[in-house]
Structure formats: C-alpha cells, structure tokens
Amino acid sequence: MSEPTPSRDWERWQALWRRAGNAGAVAQDAPHQIARARRWLLVTRLVESAFAGAAILITAAALRHAGNPFEAALGLVVGVSIGLLWIRRIRLRDREDAGVADSSPGHLAVLESVRRQEVRLAHFIWIVLPLELAFLTPWWVIGSRVHHRSLTDPGSWQTVWLPILGMLALFVWSLRLRGRARAELRAIARLREQFNSLERGG
Amino acid sequence: MIRAHGDALERVAWGYVDNAPDREDLMQEILMALWRALPRFRGESSLRTFVLQVAHNRSITFATRRRPFADLPEEGLLPDPAPLVEERLIEQQDRDRLFRAIRRLPEAQRQAVMLHLEGLSQREIAALQETSEGNVGVRLTRARKALRALLVEEDG
C-alpha cells in the first residue's frame, strides 16, 4: 500500500479536528466562566489592596511616633517602598494581560520580561521587610513600655503580632513568587528556543 | 463571538492540556483573556485570527506553569455531538489519538499544526509566529512527518 500524500494526511486530520468541540456548550458556559474569573480577579485585587493599605497605615502610625529624623526617614522609605511594590505588582499584571494579543514569540518575550521583574520584585521585598522590621521594632518596644502593654494584650495583637504575621505572609508569598517565576522562566526559555530554532531544525 | 468560535477555542484548549480539570481552568483563562483583550482588537487581522492568537498565547502561559502531561491521558476528551454508533466511536478514538499526538509536538510545530487545521493560511500563521511563510511551510512538513510517526507508534 502506498503512503498517503501530504494533502491526504492534512485533509483526514482536518476532518477529524473540525468535528471536535461544541461551540454551543462553550457559549452557554462562557458567561459563568467569565463571571467566575472576574470575581476571582476582584477578590485577589481587594486582598492585595487591603494588605498594602494596612501595611502603609501601620507604617504611617509608627511614623507619627518616630523618635528622631533617621527613624522618620527610614519610615518614609519603608512606606514609599510598600506603595511602589503594590503599584509594580498591578502594572506587571496589566503588562502581562496586554501582551496576550501579540504574536507568540512577542508574547513569550513579554512573559519573560514580566517573570524577570517578578523575581526582582521578590528580591525587593526581601530588602523592604528587614527595613520595616528595623523601623517598627523601636515603636513596638517603646510603645509597650509607654502604654504598659504585655505581648498578649489586644493592643499588642493589633500593633505587633498582626504586622509580624503580615510580614511573614509577605515573605512566604515572595518566596513562592520567586520560585514560580524562576520555574516559568526555564519553561519560557525552552519555548522561545523552539520558536527561534527553525533554521536549526525546530 | 464565542458562539462562532467556541468550538475552535475548545480545540485549542485540548491541544495544550490532557485532562478535564485543566481544560476547565484553561477555558476560563482563555475566555477571560478574550473578554479583556477584545477592546484592543483593531481589525488588523480577522476576528478569527485574533481569537486564535489570544487563545494560543493564553494556553502557552498556562503551559509554562502547569505540570507535565499525565502518562495516561483520558479517553474520549472531545465528545462528538452526534450519537455514538460504532463508526462514531472509532472516529472519536482516532480524534483522541490525533490530539494526543499533536500535544507531543514541540510548541512551535504544535501551534502551526493547530492553526493549519483551523484553516489559517501560511501567511496568517507566519504573522502569528513572527516568522516567514517559508519557515511555516518547513515547520508544517516536519510536523506532518512527526505526527505520522507518532500516530503509527500509537497504533503499534
């Protein structure tokens, strides 16, 4: 039996391919899927905004009690840095969304750039967190002394433990962000190689 | 738009994932990406090309962060709306084999094949892959040979 010609192969596969899928079912399900995705996006943004807002508020509260100009400057740097982290995160997400309508190699280039910046974002968090800790520690120590608060008082929960938990959560999140971004960078490099390697046999 | 291209979107999703939960997640991401990208559509290509472009790019993003394909992909992933008489069953198995083989192609070839099967011209595929028409031709020729070998391997 002779081997089928290329056009016969494509015709056969095209016939199989095009009979798959159900546009009606997809169209019926689409509004629910989009609504679910939008809800999820909204919740994510709300959580991130609440987190950043709370961090800035706590820093501002501590800033009001800064004991000297150095502390005040440190608090200002920390507060601005938290704001920058938040804005950077939003802009990276928007940039990734905008790149989805590019050509595939263009989209991969955008993805690579965004993931690299996410790694940098994680590193920046690792700089901001110790600064925040250095800034808040005197406020915690002096505040507890002045207000005669033990570490288990409700006031301590609000001003000491909650910020510490927030910082821990941010640290864990930054670790995950960095790990995921680095793993994706490896996958993106592999895919870019495939798109670029035609002349070499891709 | 989804009524007109929903079946193609579903095929794109199955070209990148091999199980129903991943397919559900990917479809949601594709639909959301389209919903957000549509205002940026300027008519530089056909709507179908734009839709496929967004779907493929979102699938690529999804593929960069998902686990590798399972060893034993599910059968009957794309049910045919027609009744499943014996001929239909055989056809469905052939289709599943074809999808499995396509998923095993390198990314650039896989995308070229899927777009070719959707009926896009080599020029449209070249624009989407930022390469020349000649390169797309080479990619498709190599992909056809690879697909034949993979399908024979599956039959064996």
- Please write the tens of the pLDDT for every residue from A103-134: 999 999 999 999 999 999 999 999 999 999 99
- Tell me whether B84 touches chain A (CB under 8 Å): no
Q: Is A134 on the interface with B (CB under 8 A)?
A: no
Portion of chain B with pLDDT greater than 90, in percent: 56
CB contacts of A17 in chain B (<8 Å) are 11, 95, 98, 117-118
Longest Cα pair distance anywhere in chain A, in angstroms?
94
Range A63-69, long-range pairs (CB < 8 A, 24+ positions): A65/A139, A65/A142, A65/A143, A67/A138, A67/A142
In this structure, are B89 and B155 located in the same domain? yes
Residues in contact with A172: Cβ distance below 8 Å, sequence separation at least 6, in sequence order: none
Average pLDDT for residues A34-58, to the nearest whole number?
92
Residue B77 lies in a domain: no
Query: Is residue A42 within 8 angstroms of chain B, CB to CB?
Result: no
**Can you give the pTM of this predicted structure?**
0.84
Residue B153 contacts A where some CB pair is shorter than 8 Å: no
Q: Are residues B14 and B64 in the same domain?
A: yes
Say if B74 falls within a structural domain.
no
B47: in domain: yes
- ipTM surpasses 0.90: no
What domain count does chain A have?
1
Last residue of a domain, one of B69, B95, B114: B69
Both B146 and B106 in a single domain?
A: yes
Indicate if B156 and B125 belong to the same structural domain.
yes
Is A155 part of a structural domain of the chain?
Answer: yes
Closest CA to A165 of A136, A186, A193: A136
Proportion of chain A above pLDDT 90, given as a percent: 55
Determine, for residues A195 and B108 on separate chains, whether the beta-carbon distance falls below 8 Å. yes
Residue B69 pLDDT > 80: no
Inside any domain, residue B79: no
Nearest to A33 among B27, B54, B135 (CB): B27
pLDDT above 90 (res B143): yes
The pLDDT, as a whole number, for residue B77 is 52
Number of independent structural domains in chain B: 2
Whichever domain contains B116, its CATH number is 1.10.10.10
Residue B63 and residue A187 in contact, taking contact as beta carbons nearer than 8 Å: yes
User: Is residue A156, in this structure, part of any structural domain at all?
Assistant: yes
Average predicted confidence (pLDDT) for chain A:
88
Q: Is residue B139 part of a domain?
A: yes
